[in-house]
Structure 1
Amino acid sequence: MQKAAVPYGSDVSSGTYACCDCGYEYSNTSKTSLPPCPKLEELPHSLHAWRILSGRGDAVDDPYPNGR
């Protein structure tokens, strides 16, 4: 089952993600770990996660397969 959101730092497949706290959209084209939201210092963030908009979300070798 695909997660609805993945925490900052998770290894993910390519896709588009939206910050769960502020809605900022981030796209990546290769497997990489998700960075913190670039608006983290400007706006309050408590969830520290990305919502999956497109793509498969967590990569098989996700360092946080059960979330944090």
Structure 2
Amino acid sequence: MKKRCVPYGSDVSAGEFECADCGKKIQITSAKSLPPCPKYQIYPTQHTKKCWIVLSGQGDSPNDPYPNN
């Protein structure tokens, strides 16, 4: 299931993701948890959504700890 705003820490399948707050793009090569945006440490007040937009891939893993977010 693809989601518009997948929270930091969500388990996801491989794919490309874009920070909903600043537009930074990352690629995840295997199923794992989404990290916080690398720019979050530098600009924490500009990261209010704290989530990623799924650009490609499967998005949320079936084992997502936050399946309803």
Q: Give TM-score scaled by structure 2 length.
A: 0.91
2-structure distance, mates of 1:20, 1:60? 22
Structure 1 or 2: larger helix share?
A: 2
Mapped pair 1:66 → 2:56: no
Q: Percent identity?
A: 54
* 1:1-68 alignment runs, 5 A limit: 1-43=1-43, 44-67=46-69
The SS at the match of 2:55 is strand
Structure 1: 5+ residue runs without aligned partners?
Answer: none
The SS at the match of 1:54 is strand
Structure 2: 5+ residue runs without aligned partners?
Answer: none
1:34-54 deviations in Å (ceiling 9; x for gaps) = 000010022210000000000
C-alpha RMSD of matched pairs (Å): 0.9
- State the one-letter code of the partner of 1:34: L
Tell me by how many angstroms 1:4 deviates: 1.5
